[in-house]
Structure 1
């Protein structure tokens, strides 16, 4: 049997199995091979031989890689109860295919089980309609988009992950071909610079394949963002034929785009409607936002094959062309669109519409928060009104917002929930493979002491460089070093282009300097940078001497640890020949710096990554802080601050994909900078906000599993969960309140770590007095805890601790008497703990561990006559009243190990015992008094020592229902409303 016929047969079989799921392979091969000539080999031995004769990239191998990986990623398929991307799932796949052991071994070697996280979904119940059969029957634009991504280098695992993530969104939209009208609203939470556009492009492709015929993409508030999104959709989804519509190539709005002439745009092979599919009609172009159609209003008219039937009827909707527009969130533009829609003859109630709102936390939300209205942004409420009008005008419209900040206003500030609050679903996307996010720049939960951190085991040490807290004019040395890093990394990229066997190419190489939102500051900074560039002497011995030192002390050791196999110069002599070429590419036109702070900059093409290769230093403010993708970003110099957590996150332009130069990325960021009367460490502020984000995502993931087929948490119940992390974020209006009241959080085998400790002296003293009886039990000899080496360090970690065993009722008695700055934040945990007396589950006692510090500069003191305790120094997180984290990494690891080993031979903890970590904490935030003012002669002032704790209940501390969270609605008649009027609450009560 020839390779061609083998590939054809397996393609037919796998196409059938894609819809039904894996089934016996040999039977399928025999059935579909009937009538084929020459006589096919349908045995497993023949299949193995073909696979073993293949290679990476061989069509048969890739065909099976796509199929098996898609089954690996499938969420809750009817044919397997195992989780996605697990060995158990792969075992089920092989069993259903009825493969023998030898074939399983060969296939596993060629297609290893993908290691990936699935998207987290918080959703109301919905009626399934987007089935494999429905997808298979009308697939055109999604397979075309898959081919585009495959051509761009996406592997099978990445494609399968995108396929599953977009399915989770589309299946929760209303069926576009059903008579019933339902308007779903949802939110997709990605990561900053992590490929949200790829996700919503996939959602649009699947939605229009399914029957949605009007697509409205709200693409930010700036022209450059709208243009960027329009080009991406035109290139990867709409395609050349739909763009040209029979016109000449030179008439395209992309005639000046290099990718248009390099066949970078999708080609369908003909007009889709001629090939048996349907066309997409563009209502906007790259350079033109939506304009009034006037006499051309017919462009918005939807044709019907059966005029007597509504457009959404299957006999019409699947034979009609789709309309797609990418519009700016601008009052004038949206007003034009609303007026035109009201003029068309097609009844608006018949049109299946999907509205994609990119950067949905910006402008779309109705807010009266004065912080959001500074700098002339009062239009936000107007935009919200227009988006609301659009939803009201189009009854079959489905709204999907996209954001990278999970604390966006649609979560925390939904004052007008009838508009765009995600009432139906929230999808949290995992960070994609190869993405450099917060964990690429911060050592979150690192178990390695600072003095032992290296370029290999510390992200911060490898990629982050401090800008000292100095006045701007005194900061020339650090800015010069950042500029040197930009030139040196450019030279190393050119070295790799010549010497790396993978054929690397770096069309863009950029440095971002971000200090202010004021345009006058941008011009001054650009002049300063230009002057510094021309005085740097990169072509002479002085400049080379600085670059040599930077290479030897910074880039060479970091690349040695993190180059990931990419070609790396052995010494500076191998880099030096490329420095001149790098300088010419950056500043050969005498203009190494570009200011990006008005649309005019982009319209002139000065910072257009689509039209030319760009090796430049970019200076800007708001335009560079949201949505705009800075291609090739390698060096970031960042000294700007903000008082808003979500704005801070959006400024993280250094997050993203850095293929082939990850080891060269550097972030220069200010530490301990003074802004007016407020001193903020920007690096720590980023870490604090990112911790909150990660914690929130983890919380959603924890509550996402269904219980008896029903959700534990619905989107309407999410706002109180956000408030757990950022208690200062509340509904805007004084007369509004969250309707969902969190009454219980169950945490079997999961940490309970309170955050809202009081700051005033009287409650701190009273809390210390309530802990006092348990502190006496800690008077015995220290116990030594040992943690084995982890992935970040080969060293064994040990720490001493004072310990005691405390009865459950005794510990709960102490916890019940504690005072909090926000009692409602701990009460749901206390409700759970009180039920562990046998009501819900049984916990007999707790191992109380008070870790003792071993550092030479440690402080010990007694508290109200207690045994001596180590005093832990902690500061509250920026933008929050809470401590970033009280517990130590090594202490958490030891406690988790005790719980995981509970009940085994020789274990310290029996099955019904929990673990509690207890700390005497000195709050050193801001202008707190020095430690010597708190401790005198070994005695601590109890009004200044916060007794902080974390609890780890045993894994058995749950009932058979296994529900983890309980809510109640304050106004039961409005159960699905996330925000209610206080007056309504009083009226019901």
Structure 2
């Protein structure tokens, strides 16, 4: 797009900020008028219409208000103080957001949400001592930095004079965060100041108003050090403007900052330590948590943050994270004689809703993975073991690349070309390759990809203009094959794509991003970058215009996996060309985590309605079955440990089965016995979608079935004894009678599939299994989706009126109109379920996903049996049962903690 187009876009966006939504005709009339006066009519008619459509799209993007859980002692102060606050920093930041194309509804909601957060901090004009602790829970790559940049602006307007941002454990993330603060708050390019330029370049908010420039004691190139701080001492002493620091979560940096603050305070307590201080901990679940396990550095950093807060009479701590699973394991009562209270968010927890155009885990791993058919965005890596094994040493030699990586590279280059054809040539496009935690291996991988890229570019230079090249040149032929598979249904023909390929990809480059190198550079428009990295790419770092990902990691830790999801975010006008390659087993983990994350945000909403406190929220989430995976990261050596888990309003299913003949035969017998008892008694029986429902089945029949069940050791949440203990404790009241669904397809595709169990004809469901798990001795039902039950099964047994009510509530949260397509999460039905539901399934193994090898001899014959339980909400939700964790098995299932071989955590 031209500079005139960008100028007109910014002008129109500013003109409609805060106005009522304009009709299509009114918007186009305004655009035409401003085109005449602002650009002299330089934007042509076609681009004027494109601008109108883009603005209409931004108008249509919405964002909910999120949920707020407060302690019982919240004292509002902001509304009263607002009449005295000059919103200088916020207003210019608001203008920047609009200029950068943030949808108007999102800007409006951001204004509201940051007010809610600021109002829960301490009043900076209240001179008595106070400290506040809170947490903001967002989504990966959903705009947390934009949120806390807005909060910083409002805090500075309100009177905070020292603001510290702790931005991750790596230099590249700290530098990137500094650049965002430069643009959104300072208005100066601190990187240019650091290079010795006499004149600081005005950027971002500084282009709107250029006075009251905050003092930054860090730059885009340099973390905090005492000499820089002392050079700014005269400015700091006056405090006419706010002082901001963006520091790395690093032992030496924190120690130097604390020492410098103490040295300042010794010269006059009121000069520094008495000033109100706001501390923002970005990626708060990483290294800030006092796990008491692992490297001493983690616990040390936790103590240093607490020391830093303790050095101020008036301080606020806010942890920002998209993966709060570790934070909620902080003990609210934990205290330490040296460091004081831990960082539990005791005063407030705020959940941020993602805007409606967010490209996140739910869209990719739940909505984008149908029960039948191929995933929309996901592709599988099945061909790596020979040349690039999942588990490898730091000495691994990379001689060749898996074919799937060649396909991913081709898809990226084609996507870049299609984006250019759509008029996005001035926008960045990135590809992420995250395949090894070792920087040496990353370097070799970078070399091989560079060679592969150059071969493609050389072929395009020589043969790219030939129509026959798609069949005769091997590199162009591969591009054509990938185009046919991935993009042939889009608006451009192969001839159009082929003609534009060379111009689109000639400047593409392959770079490393790790603790030894950072090749990311988005300073000029339209960069095309293939980034190779590991841990450095797994935490907070933004890859601009990320379009294609090739991901090969063996960890299943919640926070690590979600933070590796750099592909989450916003993909305006190019979501349809985004592709993610990953191992099939990783898909099931991401799907599971996406559901758990969705449930966490729903839990926040429920607790807000019930007016519960952060401590009660922490207790609820700590007892979630997800704790079995989260806590596994804190390994305690060999042997076993127990984890207390609650099953109120939870769903468990046997997605993993023991593959042994004895186990499969015994479980079929247990199911047959249960079905026989159902038929022999006069329980209410009704045909429902998915099978036959029996009502008011006594708990004794359920307990007998579970007692006979042979659980796979690898199926953690379906351990039988904890389930029986939980049920047994409620067997005389809440769980005394059950609904039982005997699953059966209404019609089988293959008549030979039908089986008869105790006189009852059942059409088994068909599911794939994951080939990679067979050597480990278990069947992963549902293949990469690891799902036995079909969507909607938890609606069975619930009165229609109750189901419609909770569905309407969820639609309002998701901003979906009645009748629009939506996948309702099972958790909403558990809140109104009158009785627990046991769903019993017979499953015919269809094929082994990811391999053409024959199935085990005991699988192609009789169906295997699986089950699921949907527990209703319990009146005794705080009562938990203990699950056993075998740390050796956890390591086998979940993989190791992930970090670069020379990560710079000190």
Q: TM-score, normalised by structure 2?
A: 0.71
Q: Does 1:776 align with 2:679?
A: yes
- Matched with 2:245 is 325
- Matched with 1:341 is 261
1:622, distance to aligned residue in structure 2 (A): 1.8
What is the aligned counterpart of 2:326 among 408, 415, 420? 408
- Matched with 1:856 is 750
1-side partners of 2:243 and 2:106: how far apart?
29
Q: Does 1:919 align with 2:847?
A: no
Question: Does the CA contact (< 8 Å) of 1:744 and 1:967 recur in 2?
Answer: no
Q: Which has the larger radius of gyration?
A: 1
- Matched with 2:39 is none
- Matched with 2:511 is 594
In structure 2, relative to structure 1, the CA distance for the partners of 1:118 and 1:713 (3 Å cut) is: farther
What is the aligned counterpart of 1:533 among 453, 456, 461? 453
Question: Does the CA contact (< 8 Å) of 2:285 and 2:326 recur in 1?
Answer: yes
Aligned residues: 756
1:868, distance to aligned residue in structure 2 (A): 5.5
1:335, distance to aligned residue in structure 2 (A): 1.2
Q: Does 1:496 align with 2:422?
A: yes
What is the aligned counterpart of 1:705 among 581, 602, 609? 609
- Matched with 1:461 is 376
Q: Deviations over 1:27-66 (max 9, x none)?
A: xxxxxxxxxxxxxxxxxxxx99x9999547969x99xxxx
Question: Does the CA contact (< 8 Å) of 2:420 and 2:504 recur in 1?
Answer: yes
Q: Deviations over 1:306-338 (max 9, x none)?
A: xxxxxxxxxxxxxx5321111111222111111
2-side partners of 1:421 and 1:448: how far apart?
40
1:654, distance to aligned residue in structure 2 (A): 1.5
Q: Does 1:356 align with 2:249?
A: no
Deviates more, 1:128-137 or 1:623-632: 128-137
1:535, distance to aligned residue in structure 2 (A): 2.6
Q: How does 1:201-240 map to 2 (within 5 A)?
A: 201-240=149-188
Q: How does 1:403-802 map to 2 (within 5 A)?
A: 403-409=321-327, 411=329, 418-444=341-367, 449-450=372-373, 460-464=375-379, 466-468=381-383, 470-472=385-387, 476-497=402-423, 504-536=424-456, 537-539=459-461, 540=463, 541=469, 542=473, 543-557=475-489, 559=490, 568-569=491-492, 571-586=493-508, 592-598=509-515, 601-602=517-518, 606-610=519-523, 613-671=526-584, 681-706=585-610, 711=613, 714-724=616-626, 726=628, 729=631, 732=634, 745=648, 753=652, 771=674, 774-777=677-680, 785=688, 799=690, 801-802=691-692
In structure 2, relative to structure 1, the CA distance for the partners of 1:465 and 1:484 (3 Å cut) is: same
Q: How does 1:147-166 map to 2 (within 5 A)?
A: 147-166=95-114
- Matched with 2:143 is 195
2-side partners of 1:618 and 1:969: how far apart?
45
Q: Deviations over 1:175-214 (max 9, x none)?
A: 2222443322222222222111011112212222222221
In structure 2, relative to structure 1, the CA distance for the partners of 1:773 and 1:397 (3 Å cut) is: farther
In structure 2, relative to structure 1, the CA distance for the partners of 1:403 and 1:923 (3 Å cut) is: farther
What's the Cα RMSD here? 5.0
2-side partners of 1:423 and 1:597: how far apart?
35
- Matched with 2:206 is 266
In structure 2, relative to structure 1, the CA distance for the partners of 1:143 and 1:479 (3 Å cut) is: same
In structure 2, relative to structure 1, the CA distance for the partners of 1:461 and 1:818 (3 Å cut) is: same
- Matched with 1:384 is 302
Q: Deviations over 1:926-975 (max 9, x none)?
A: 99x97863898x7x8xxx85554335x6xxxx9xxxx97753799xxxxx
What is the aligned counterpart of 1:298 among 233, 253, 264? 233
1:224, distance to aligned residue in structure 2 (A): 1.5
Paired residue secondary structure (2:531): strand
Question: Does the CA contact (< 8 Å) of 1:123 and 1:714 recur in 2?
Answer: no
2-side partners of 1:698 and 1:480: how far apart?
40
Question: Does the CA contact (< 8 Å) of 2:168 and 2:249 recur in 1?
Answer: yes
1:131, distance to aligned residue in structure 2 (A): 3.7
Question: Does the CA contact (< 8 Å) of 1:434 and 1:657 recur in 2?
Answer: yes
2-side partners of 1:781 and 1:812: how far apart?
16
1:408, distance to aligned residue in structure 2 (A): 2.9
- Matched with 2:75 is 128
Q: Deviations over 1:722-777 (max 9, x none)?
A: 44553562695989x999988784x5xxx755679997989979976984664335
2-side partners of 1:902 and 1:196: how far apart?
33
1:618, distance to aligned residue in structure 2 (A): 1.7
2-side partners of 1:912 and 1:632: how far apart?
43
- Matched with 1:177 is 125
Higher relative contact order by CA 8 Å / sep ≥ 6: 1 or 2?
Answer: 2
What is the aligned counterpart of 2:696 among 806, 830, 835? 806
1-side partners of 2:729 and 2:28: how far apart?
56
In structure 2, relative to structure 1, the CA distance for the partners of 1:696 and 1:856 (3 Å cut) is: farther
Question: Does the CA contact (< 8 Å) of 2:369 and 2:376 recur in 1?
Answer: no
1:523, distance to aligned residue in structure 2 (A): 2.0
Deviates more, 1:478-487 or 1:126-135: 126-135
Question: Does the CA contact (< 8 Å) of 1:446 and 1:889 recur in 2?
Answer: no
In structure 2, relative to structure 1, the CA distance for the partners of 1:231 and 1:112 (3 Å cut) is: closer
1-side partners of 2:763 and 2:876: how far apart?
35
2-side partners of 1:650 and 1:614: how far apart?
24
1:422, distance to aligned residue in structure 2 (A): 1.9
Q: Does 1:283 align with 2:213?
A: no
- Matched with 1:311 is none
1:359, distance to aligned residue in structure 2 (A): 1.2
Question: Does the CA contact (< 8 Å) of 1:804 and 1:848 recur in 2?
Answer: yes
Unmatched tracts of structure 1, length 5 or more: 1-10, 19-46, 63-108, 273-278, 305-319, 454-459, 498-503, 560-567, 587-591, 672-680, 787-798, 838-842, 904-910, 971-989
Question: Does the CA contact (< 8 Å) of 1:724 and 1:825 recur in 2?
Answer: no
Question: Does the CA contact (< 8 Å) of 1:509 and 1:616 recur in 2?
Answer: yes
Q: Deviations over 1:478-498 (max 9, x none)?
A: 23222222222222222122x
Q: Deviations over 1:380-426 (max 9, x none)?
A: 22222211211222242111111221323553788966321222222
2-side partners of 1:810 and 1:629: how far apart?
54
Paired residue secondary structure (1:126): coil
Question: Does the CA contact (< 8 Å) of 1:240 and 1:268 recur in 2?
Answer: no
1:125, distance to aligned residue in structure 2 (A): 2.1
Question: Does the CA contact (< 8 Å) of 1:122 and 1:427 recur in 2?
Answer: yes
Paired residue secondary structure (1:464): strand
1:217, distance to aligned residue in structure 2 (A): 0.4
Question: Does the CA contact (< 8 Å) of 2:218 and 2:246 recur in 1?
Answer: yes
